[in-house]
Amino acid sequence: MNSLRKPRRYDRNLIVIGAGAGGLVTAYIAAAVKAKVTLIEGHQMGGDCLNTGCVPSKALIRPARLLADLRRAGEFGIHTEPPRVDFAAVMDRVRAVIRQVEPHDSVERYTALGVEVIRGHARLTSPWTVEIDTGEGRRSLSARAIVLATGAAPVIPALPGIEHVRHVTSDTVWDLDALPERLAVLGGGPIGCELAQAFAALGSRVTLVARSGLLGREDADVVARVEQGLAADGVRVCKGAEPLRCEIQDGAQRLIVGGPDGEEAIPFDVLLCATGRKARVAGYGLEELGIRLTRAGTIEVNETLQTRHPSIYACGDAAGPYQFTHAAAHQAWYAAVNALFSGMLGPIGRFKADYRVMPRVTFTRPEVARVGLNETGAQAKGIAHEITRYDLADLDRAITDGAAQGFIQVLTPPGKDRILGVSIVGEHAGELLAEFTLAMKHNLGLNKILGTIHPYPTWSEAAKYAAGEWKRAHAPQGLLAWLERFHAWRRG
């Protein structure tokens, strides 16, 4: 361990450890403002999102949704032979999509942007120095500031016998080349629900074990729609089931779960563990520097994303509290700007990370999208609110697309059009959320959305109609009564 004395001069303005979403954006911003920045990655450029998360999962969901649409083709007057799934080809396309996106996060691109990229494992040796094991030797670099963007990794549950059965995680499921005939999924969060539904649509017999229910932070009516969608694609959902152990009996792999009626054996060919992700914090020298962790296992940071050492920052999954690619990129701006400029202008040069408007989307069928408070959250926090609901069954474009299911639910303070939160469940929910996110970010109320021209017939009109529902409920009844008398008087 080097001395904690500051170097007299620094090799770099900024060192970034980890080339996932948080690290890439941090390095990009630093290079854009002409800082000398080094980005260190010990595994794959692009991190989890590109290689094992967002990109491959959405590439898998696409053929699954296409199959679901083909099975409904008769509703649209189209008759086809039953489709046949070539799972190896499906996975080949998933990998091809990764390769197509890869240049966006490549060493070559970032080098061209002015970022020095070093492949190797980094370890903090002081608040200003990093030792890098490149596999061909060790290097040491110093920087005025360091940003930790080390990401997170899947948690494998401590189930007795799991080491003896074939199990995968959201990181390793992409190595499959044959469609599992029977897939057991542990975990009812977004990852578990998305992958369970995709594999079921592609032809696996899927059992989803959700100890605490599905999508625990969403309202009950939202969860009910997702359950219906999972069931329609053939997913069997076991809610409130406690995973007890894995075993092999007569050569067959089984997951044993406990419930109100006793134990049940769920046979499987592959067990997919989707039981959460934990920040990658081991092996980076954090403990030696006394950098504290939260109860959730993330790096403890203040509002400006600093650790206990003012020169060391953290962002993305490693820092929490969110595990979204867009949250990591959002934090990266604060990490980069604070790391490069904090202290130069006193308090003015320090920016507190703003999480007031954080959208999230679960890419099930139907999609679930939310920003801000939902009814469950508002009730738990004792926040007074009104609920405005617009049913997508009334939207012309949803009807023409044969997707007239779902709803938009908006929470506002009583009597006011300010948006506290929006929940959407239905086709294109993630896309529909963007207008509400923009409105919340810039303090635009429902009246502003209602007064905006939306092209017809589009899905985006749903936002206007939701705003219209609020307006109808808050129409000035006294004025309308006076107008009715006024028009009667004008008729003579």
* pTM over 0.75, yes/no: yes
The CATH superfamily of 12-45+106-153+278-349 is: FAD/NAD(P)-binding domain (3.50.50.60)
How far is it, in rounded angstroms, from Cα 27 to Cα 329? 11
Asked if residue 79 has pLDDT above 50, the reply is yes
Of residues 348, 351, 299, 260, the one with CA closest to residue 17: 299
Of residues 354, 309, 281, the one with CA closest to residue 127: 309
Instruction: Give the pLDDT mean for 336-343.
Output: 90
Phi, psi of 308 (to 5 degrees): -65, -20
Q: Are 56 and 44 in contact (CB under 8 A)?
A: no
How far is it, in rounded angstroms, from Cα 450 to Cα 464? 5
Q: Quick one: pLDDT at residue 344?
A: 66
Q: State whether residue 206 is helix, strand or coil.
A: strand
Q: Are 239 and 227 in contact (CB under 8 A)?
A: no
Q: Look at the block and give the residue holding tokens 């200003």.
A: 128
Q: Quick one: pLDDT at residue 261?
A: 84
Query: What are the tens digits of pLDDT across the range 125-176?
Result: 999 999 999 988 899 999 999 999 999 999 999 999 999 999 999 999 999 9
Amino acid at 126: S
Query: What are the tens digits of pLDDT across the range 350-395?
Result: 899 999 999 999 999 999 999 999 999 999 999 999 999 999 999 9
Of residues 367, 474, 379, 462, the one with CA closest to residue 418: 474
Q: What is the DSSP letter of 157?
A: P
Asked if residue 120 has pLDDT above 90, the reply is yes
Amino acid at 377: G
Instruction: Give the pLDDT mean for 90-119.
Output: 96
CATH fold for the domain made of 162-276: FAD/NAD(P)-binding domain (3.50.50)
Instruction: Give the pLDDT mean for 421-449.
Output: 98
Phi, psi of 408 (to 5 degrees): -115, 130
Residues of the chain above pLDDT 90, percent:
91
Q: Look at the block and give the residue holding tokens 């029977």.
A: 182
How far is it, in rounded angstroms, from Cα 491 to Cα 108? 76
* CATH class entry, domain 366-473: alpha beta
Where do the domains of the chain lie? 12-45+106-153+278-349, 162-276, 366-473
Question: Binning pLDDT at 50, 70 and 90, where does residue 1 land?
Answer: very low
How far is it, in rounded angstroms, from Cα 277 to Cα 281? 12
Fold match, 12-45+106-153+278-349 / 366-473: no
Q: Quick one: pLDDT at residue 348?
A: 62
Of residues 235, 345, 385, 284, the one with CA closest to residue 23: 284
Q: State whether residue 163 is helix, strand or coil.
A: helix
